[in-house]
Amino acid sequence: MEVRRTVSVKLDVDSNDAALLRETVDEFLLAANYVVDHAWQGEYKTTSKAQLHAETYDDVREQTRLHANLVQNARNKAADAVQSAVARWKQGEYAGKPHFTSPTVVYDKRCATFHDEYVSLATVEGRIEVEYLLPAADRDTPHSRYLDSDDYQVTGAELHHRDGQWFLHLRTNAEVESDTPKQATTGHRTVLGVDLGVNQLAVTSTGTFWSGHEFDHWRREYEERRGSLQQCGMRAAHENIQSVGGKETGRFKLMLHRIANGIIEEAAENGCTIIAFEELSGICDRLPEASWGHKWAFERLYEYVKYKSELHGIDVAVVDPENTSRRCSHCGFTHPDNRDSEAFVCLKCGYENHADYNAAKNVGLRYLRRNQTGDGGGAPVGVRLNRGTLNANGEYETPAGDSGQSGSPRESPTLNEARSSDRAK
Ligand SMILES: [Zn+2]
């Protein structure tokens, strides 16, 4: 059977190449949006790739300096987005015209050549060669497991530009003889813990936050208009969401899709093969400030992450939520007074951090403990933090591959407002 893994590699890009890549990204987005605009004209939206090719290829070649295969990849990206919008209409859901802004370019083997330590990429002005910034080869990392392995072949990649850095998300696959891909590929598995909440809709154990502000604002406005009560629970969620306008729910589904993509990106970039959530049942008891709207949002978010993660070879797991917000992720001491709103201060060891970040670490740790004592096959597992990995014995391992970093264990989260708001809106 086929096993797929996505491995994120940081690229060593000089300023000339960076300028070329930025122009390539701009023209790729221009091409994809041009095809969407064309497909969207008229009453019937065009979803056929062959038809879109015939109707837009020459125009896009004329308007851009893109390599022929990049033009085709942009068209495929556009066609896929239009197809999924139409599919949602057929299910009675709202979907607006897709528009691409996220700085990415889709590469395949015709417009990129993947070598062991560098890649050759087509740009608006011919090809450039860019080196990978790889961790030491003797360490057990996703790079050594999948990129250096002869069993795994790179099939394509997406170029991403984020926080001033260039990344390549390499898609790899392997033919594996075992019936259980997990056994065939386990060496070391890394888990990303996710905490769901009201002030922050989602927080990962790597320290990325997605604010719940916009969502909460929308829900309150809706409740005021309809005079409905703030209630939690399945029935309230279903009854209320039925009566919310399709356009409004569509907007928020789109937001949740973006958060789901962000969580998966976070997992891929940190070499995680498992994303762990708390079990959603009983969430109303645990989060007294949660309403039917949150219940609805958490269910959608979990569902989106679950189906999107399959493409990346990432598994989704749920853990028992008991005490994840009251337990100290550093020493294990559990007490309700450890937490005061968004601040977590352990009464025993003094560990201080954002309460939701502490909870996200606990979600990851719970998955890890369960799978080392239970039915996980005994494979070593670690929780990915924003600087390094924590194993079940509480031992901290500094990250590999960040050249120029001292590697000191700094695991408090960086609240990057620009980044979290960019993803949440
Ligand atoms: Zn403690």
For the segment 47-65, the average pLDDT, to the nearest whole number, is 94
Query: Distance, CA 279 to ligand 1 centroid (Å)?
Result: 24
Are the CB atoms for 172 and 7 separated by under 8 Å? yes
| Residues ≥6 apart with Cβ < 8 Å to 221 | none
Cα of 311 vs centre of ligand 1, distance in Å, is 38
Rounded distance from Cα 195 to ligand 1 centre (Å)? 19
Kindly give the distance from the C-alpha atom of residue 344 to the centroid of ligand 1, in angstroms, as a whole number: 10
Q: Which two tokens stand for residue 134?
A: 């790889």
Q: Please, which residues have CB less than 5 A from ligand 1, an ion? A: 328, 330-331, 333, 346, 348-349, 351
At residue 311, the pLDDT reads 78
CB pairs under 8 A, 24+ apart, for 345-354?
353/329, 353/412, 353/413, 354/203, 354/209, 354/413, 354/415
CA 350 – ligand 1 centroid, Å = 6
292-317 b/e (C-beta count within 10 Å ≥ 16 → b): bbbbbbbebbbebbbebbeebbbbbe
pLDDT at res. 244? 67
Q: Give the distance (Å) from ligand 1 centre to CA of residue 357.
A: 14
pLDDT at 277: 95
Q: How far is CA 35 from the centre of its chain?
A: 26
Asked if residue 419 has pLDDT above 60, the reply is: no
Residue 183 has pLDDT above 80, yes or no: no
Ligand 1 centroid to 333 CA: how many Å? 5
DSSP label at 327? B
Distance 332 CA to ligand 1 centre (A): 6
- Find the 37 Cα to ligand 1 centroid distance in Å: 55
pLDDT tens per residue across span 78-103:
999 998 888 878 777 777 889 999 89
Distance 173 CA to ligand 1 centre (A): 42
Residue 50 near residue 42 (C-beta atoms within 8 A):
no
Percent of the chain clearing pLDDT 90 (strictly above): 40
pLDDT band at 237, cuts 50/70/90?
low
Ligand 1 geometric centre to CA of 197 (Å): 22
Q: Which amino acid is at 202?
A: A
Distance between CA 301 and CA 263 in Å, rounded? 10
Phi, psi of 64 (to 5 degrees): -125, 170
- Count each helix (H run) and each strand (E run) in the chain, helices first: 12, 18
How many whole angstroms from 275 Cα to the centroid of ligand 1?
A: 24
Band (pLDDT 50/70/90 cuts) for residue 269 is confident
Going by C-beta distance under 8 Å and a sequence separation of 6 or more, which residues neighbour residue 171? 4, 5, 6, 154, 155, 156, 157, 158
Q: Rounded to 5 degrees, what are φ and ψ at 382? A: -135, 160
With a threshold of 0.85, does the pTM exceed it? no
Q: From ligand 1's centre to the CA of 418, what distance in Å?
A: 31
- Rounded-to-integer distance, Cα 140 and Cα 391, Å: 14
What is the Å distance from ligand 1's center to 338 Cα? 9
Residue by residue, DSSP assigns 256-301 as HHHHHHHHHHHHHHTT-SEEEEE--TTHHHH-TT--HHHHHHHHHH
Ligand 1 center–CA 347 separation, angstroms = 7
Tokens matching residue 141: 């990392």
pLDDT mean across residues, the chain: 80
Q: Which of 369, 238, 373 is nearest to 293 (CA)?
A: 238
CA 388 – CA 390 distance, rounded (Å): 7
The tens digit of pLDDT for each residue in 345-397 reads 999 998 888 999 999 999 999 988 877 644 444 555 677 876 566 666 556 66
